A = this chain, B = another copy of it.
Amino acid sequence: MATRRPERRNEESASAVIQAALDLCQEVGYRKLSIEGIAARAGVGKNTIYRWWPSKAAVLLDGLLSTMTMDASFPDTGDVRADLKTQMAAGIRTLGGPGLLPHYRALIGEAQHDPELHQALWDRFVSKLSAAAAARIELAQKQGQIRADVDPVLIIELLYGAGYYRRLLTPRTVDQEQIDAIVDLAFQGLAP
């Protein structure tokens, strides 16, 4: 049994692999992305990839994490409604832009038939964003700007779900207008 020793890992190789994966995914698309292709592009043996990552999607996830500075902190101007719009728009600008959307989208897709990736995507990425949003919402609840009798998780699902639904299921795209409309609608409610 070859026990992994991360301290002896060649960081140059690792980042070359990640960069090659990101580049190739952009160029040829996720479908045609292959471990062999990544290894060749990175100038690395296939084994080096298999040694550290369970799948090509895992490489891509590392790439997504390294690209995002993971600064998921929310603004706090005192107006939650505006802050939510600001933050969601910023999210769309980065995650929804041409630089990251293909990778994020491919990961979400792949996670639907890879339970381990699904868990990893949640643990290492989505849950972080969610936690940051929850913190801002809880603050607003304490300040009386949002009903305090509702689980923040539910509010996050309501607000963010709309955008994901539109992106993943429909041919429509997410823009500033939808974000503003969704936040306003969620705050005001459907009742007349």
A95 contacts chain B at the CB level, 8 A cutoff: no
Tell which of A2-10, A67-75, A167-175 binds the partner: A167-175
A82 to chain B, nearest CB (A): 14
A64 to chain B, nearest CB (A): 14
Of all chain B residues, the one with the shortest Cβ separation from A25 is B113
A43 to chain B, nearest CB (A): 26
Interface 1/0s, chain A 128-152, versus B by CB < 8 A? 0010000000000000111110110
Chain A interface size, under 10 / 10 to 19 / 20 to 34 / 35 or more:
35 or more
For A166, the chain B residues whose CB sits under 8 A away are: 157, 161
For A108, the chain B residues whose CB sits under 8 A away are: 109, 112, 168-169
For A181, the chain B residues whose CB sits under 8 A away are: 150-151, 154
Contact of A126 (CB < 8 Å), options: B106, B151, B169: B169
A53 contacts chain B at the CB level, 8 A cutoff: no
DSSP class of A's interface residues: helix, strand, loop or mixed?
A: helix
Interface 1/0s, chain A 90-121, versus B by CB < 8 A? 00000000000000011011111110001101
**A157 and B165 contact, Cβ closer than 8 Å, known pairs A112-B109, A189-B186:** yes
Chain A residues engaging chain B, CB cutoff 8 angstroms: 29-31, 105-106, 108-114, 118-119, 121-122, 126-127, 130, 144-148, 150-151, 154-155, 157-158, 160-166, 168-171, 178, 181-182, 185-192
